[in-house]
Amino acid sequence: DTGVSQDPRHKITKRGQNVTFRCDPISEHNRLYWYRQTLGQGPEFLTYFQNEAQLEKSRLLSDRFSAERPKGSFSTLEIQRTEQGDSAMYLCASSSFGAGEQFFGPGTRLTVL
């Protein structure tokens, strides 16, 4: 399967703990996006990478959130000192240059107790 993959698929953590999610985009895609989706809502943009450069961050991304894309390949999203309000599905998507269509991974569902 050469689609977008995310790991883990589910994460349960206690408030105050740090968590890290990984996203492997489609290999030839140079653009990578993170979105967050809560129940009953559409996905909301968090951040965007073109190759290894993080070009935009949403105001939703507080200083407890950090994302990286070393070498322009896989990406990680870390949440420090998790709060119950961070509970959501975290989606990763990738696209190729010039294409509007984004390919989404299955998501990581985070539950903060």
Partner 1 sequence: SQQGEEDPQALSIQEGENATMNCSYKTSINNLQWYRQNSGRGLVHLILIRSNEREKHSGRLRVTLDTSKKSSSLLITASRAADTASYFCATESGGSNYKLTFGKGTLLTVNP
Residues in contact with partner 1 by CB under 8 A are 31, 33, 35, 40-45, 48, 50, 55-56, 91, 93, 95, 100-107
Kindly tell me which of 78 and 97 has the beta carbon lying closer to partner 1.
97
Q: How far apart are CA 87 and CA 104, in angstroms?
A: 19
Token output for 106: 């299955």
User: At closest approach, how far in Å is the CB of 9 from partner 1?
Assistant: 11
DSSP-derived 3-state class of residue 36: strand
User: At closest approach, how far in Å is the CB of 84 from partner 1?
Assistant: 22
Token output for 10: 């589910």
Cα 110 to chain centroid, rounded: 11
User: At closest approach, how far in Å is the CB of 15 from partner 1?
Assistant: 26
User: At closest approach, how far in Å is the CB of 59 from partner 1?
Assistant: 9
Kindly tell me which of 42 and 70 has the beta carbon lying closer to partner 1.
42
Kindly tell me which of 80 and 87 has the beta carbon lying closer to partner 1.
87
Kindly tell me which of 72 and 106 has the beta carbon lying closer to partner 1.
106
* DSSP conformation letters of 59-104: TTS-TTEEEE-GGGS-EEEEE-S--GGG-EEEEEEEE-TT----EE
